[in-house]
Amino acid sequence: MSSPEIPNTMRAARLHAYNQPFVLEEVATPDIGPDQVLVKVGAAGMCRTDVQLVDGYFQKYSSFDFPVTPGHEIAGEIVRVGSAAEATGRRVGDQVVVVGGIGDGTCRLCHRGDTQICPHIAWPGFGPHGGYAEYVPIPAAFTIKVNSQAKLTAEQLAPLTDAGLTPYRGVKKLRAAGAFVPGGVVGVMGMGALGTYGVQYAKLLAGGASVVAFARNPKKLELAKKLGADHAINIRDRSIDDIRGELREATGQDEIDAAIDCAGAEEMIKLGFGLLATSGHYASVGLVGDRIDIPLFPLVSREYTYHGSFWGNYNDLSEVITLAEQGKIQHTVHKLRFEDVNDAIERIRTGEIVGRAVIRY
């Protein structure tokens, strides 16, 4: 297929300083290097991480050169292929998703495939190029081709690269650690966008354990049931004893054997550990807060295992895309116009949006 005509300029929503709205502007369409492809963005997921980027959450952990083009959940179509990238088999017209976490390729973490935790990592959406623009240059090796026969839209695919990927890796870690008990209970803590996928992966991978969603928003809890949760418990303004009582009525036990925390809020993590059974496993993938405070004695004496789990690697995302191609993942997305990006960020900040917001071009 011949390359389509690519304009010299494109629309982009860029952050020029912390705590400022995005500036919607016309910028030069980026060039690509020999190992890269140019992806025409079909849809970009809008993440709470983008809110944290605006708010300066990451300043103590990393520095950014402004302006930054956010958008790390990207799906689209290849419109240009670099000379060296042709060897990867990528072609103009391929429908692809973008793998976040571009590692240096030399460290031990990259060598084992975990480029997303490389010490010298680069991310689309945390620098000059991201999905809040119409075109983005990406190393060809960090794209995954989607089977066109699956008829998946860019709006469905984009959230899978983070919201649908991050809890998948966390649930896989729990499974590998032997956290899922036959006849046991798995808690999904928080029903934001990550939680909508976390419920589904717990049902797929937890060996038949009961899956219980914990959240504060009735609409989100209702969605959790539609996505396969066996039970949904509203924790708003309730004591842990009250929550334990409802859990016992629902499942026959007042503790959870494993938890995937998709919120990352301190209060939610305290609750999760307060419900955790002896020898239980807890995987954190959410990042709402910045510090946690949990009692040490139960952590040691009850032999809890706490798993940190960050994003996912190429193979994890390949598995997620395959599940989507097989029709095993349900999608809850809200399509938004590029022009409404600042309004959408505020709605994400307040937790108003149920499911995942995506920008379309």
pLDDT of 64 higher than 90: no
Q: Do 79 and 145 sit in the same domain of this protein? A: yes
Q: Do 154 and 61 sit in the same domain of this protein? A: yes
Mean pLDDT of the residues in the chain: 95
Residue 4 lies in a domain: no
pLDDT of residue 12: 97
C-alpha 180, offset from chain centre: 22
- Residues 177, 149 contacting (CB under 8 angstroms): no
Question: In the chain, what percentage of residues exceed pLDDT 70?
Answer: 99
pLDDT of 345 higher than 90: yes
Q: Which two tokens stand for residue 158?
A: 């984009």
The predicted-structure confidence for 218-260, as pLDDT tens digits, reads as follows 999 999 999 999 999 999 999 999 999 999 999 999 999 999 9
Query: φ and ψ at 222, to 5 degrees?
Result: -65, -40
Q: CATH no. for residue 270? A: 3.40.50.720
Nearest to 171 by CA among 194, 191, 144: 194
Domain span at 73: 9-162+312-360
Lowest-pLDDT choice from 49-58, 70-79, 267-276: 49-58
Q: Do 20 and 131 sit in the same domain of this protein? A: yes
pLDDT of 2 higher than 70: no
What is the residue-wise DSSP string for 186-228? EEEE--SHHHHHHHHHHHHHSTT-EEEEEES-HHHHHHHHHTT
Q: Do 135 and 171 sit in the same domain of this protein? A: no
The predicted-structure confidence for 283-301, as pLDDT tens digits, reads as follows 999 988 788 888 999 999 9
Q: Which two tokens stand for residue 42?
A: 């079909």
- Segments of the chain assigned E as strands: 9-14, 23-28, 36-46, 73-81, 95-98, 135-139, 143-145, 185-189, 210-215, 231-234, 256-261, 276-284, 305-308, 333-337, 356-360
Nearest to 119 by CA among 97, 138, 104: 104
Residue 1 lies in a domain: no
pTM of the model: 0.95
Residue 3 lies in a domain: no
